[in-house]
Structure 1
Amino acid sequence: MDETTRQATRQWTLAQPAVSAFIASVVRDFRDRDDVLQDVAVAVVESFHAYDPNSPFIPWAIGIARRQVGTYLRRRSRDPLVFDDDAVACLAIAFHEQAQERSAAHDYLQDCLGSLEGRAKKLIGLRYRDDMKPAAIASHIDMTPNAVAKALQRVREQLKECIQRKVVEASAS
C-alpha cells in the first residue's frame, strides 16, 4: 500500500463515524445507508489527492458525503419523504460543527489526562490503557473494588470539570 492510500485510510477511519452519522440522518433505509457510505469511502480514497492536509479532514469528507447523498436523493426523487438540498446542507453544517466540538473536547481530554498525578494517573492508566476492571485493579494496587470504583468516579468527574473549564476558557478567548 502506498503512503497516500495509507494516509487516506487513516483519515477515513477517524472520520467514518461522523460521516456515517451524517448519512444516517438523511438516508432512512439502512441498506441504502451502507451503500451510500461505501460510495463515500471510495470517493474519499479516489479524490484524496485533492485534499489539503492543512484543512480539517472530517468537513472535507462530509462534503463528499453531501454530494453522494445528493446523488442518492436525486435517484429517489419520487419518494415524498426525501430531504431537499437545503435540508441536507443544514445537516452537513451541523455535523461539521459537532465534529469540531468533539475534536476540541478530545484535545482537552488529552491535556487534562496529562495533568493527572499520582494515584489518579495510575488508576486511569490501569482502567483505560490496560483495560482492567475495578476488581482487577483492586488486587493490583491493594484497594477494595468499591474503593477503586469510587476513586475512578472521582477522577472522571475531575476530568469532566477540567474539560468544561477548558471549553469555557476557549470560548472566552
Structure 2
Amino acid sequence: MTLFLEHEWRLRALARALVLNPHDADELFQETSVTMLKKFDSLPQDVEFSKWACRIMLFKLKEFNRSRFRDKLQFSDSAVELLATESTLLPRNLGDRGWALERCLKHLTQTNLSVLLYRYRDGFDIPSIADITGRTTQAIYRSLSRTRHQLHECIDRTLSAAER
C-alpha cells in the first residue's frame, strides 16, 4: 500500500496524459488501482513498482478504449507506450507537489478556482472565460497570473512545513 501511495500522483498524471477527459482519466486511474491491488501479491521482487503499474495502466487503457471509444480519436499503441515510458521519468517529488497542490487549491476563492478550472481542466481560452464570467480578458489574465503565483508560493510553503 505504501508503494501505491508513493506513486499515486505519478499514475494520476499518466492517466490524465493518456485520456483527455478528466472524468475518464479518473475512471482509468480507478480501474488501474483496483487491478493493481488485486495483483499486488504477484509483483515480482525484481520488477520496479512504477514500471509494473504503468504496464497495468496500459492494458487498462486498451480495454478502456475498446469499450468506450470505438469511433473516436485515440492515441496509437506506440504513442501510449512512449507516454508510459516518459512517465517513469517524472520527478520523484511529483507526488509531494501534487499533494501540496491539492491542499492549496482548497484555499482559493470560488471565483479564482472557477477561472483556473475553466482554463486548465476545461481548456477554455481566455476570451471564452471572459465571456463566461462577464469580465475583461485583461482581468482574466491578471487573475490567472495572481492565482498561479499564489499556488506556487502555497505549494512551496506547504512542502517546507511538511519537511519539518
- Name the TM tier (shorter chain): 0.5 to 0.7
Q: Secondary structure at the match of 2:89?
A: helix
1:127 Cα deviation from its structure 2 partner: 5.0
Q: Which residue of 2 aligns with 1:45?
A: 37
Give, as a single letter, the amino acid of the residue that structure 2 aligns with 1:83.
F
Distance 2:59 2:28 in 1: 10
In the alignment, what sits opposite 1:85?
A: 77
Q: Which has the higher contact order (CA 8 A, sep 6+)?
A: 2
Q: TM-score, normalised by structure 2?
A: 0.54
SS at match of 2:88: helix
Task: State the number of aligned residues.
Answer: 99
1:28 offset after TM fit, Å? 1.0
Confirm or deny: 8 A CA contact 1:73 1:83 kept in the other structure: no
The structure where helix makes up a greater share of residues is 1
Post-superposition offset of 1:53: 3.0
Q: 1:127 to 1:85 in 2, by over 3 A?
A: closer
Q: Which residue of 2 aligns with 1:59?
A: 51
Shift, 1:129, TM fit? 3.5
RMSD: 2.4
Q: Which runs of 5+ in 2 are unaligned?
A: 94-159
Structure 1 unaligned regions, length at least 5: 1-8, 105-125, 131-173
Amino acid of the residue matched to residue 78 of structure 1?
D
TM-score scaled by length of structure 1: 0.51
SS of alignment partner, residue 47 of structure 1? helix
Give the equivalent residue in structure 2 for 1:73: 65
Q: Percent identity among equivalent residues? A: 20
After TM superposition, which residue ranges in structure 1, 4 or more long, deviate above 3 angstroms? 126-130
- Aligned-pair CA distance for 1:87: 0.8
Larger radius of gyration: 1
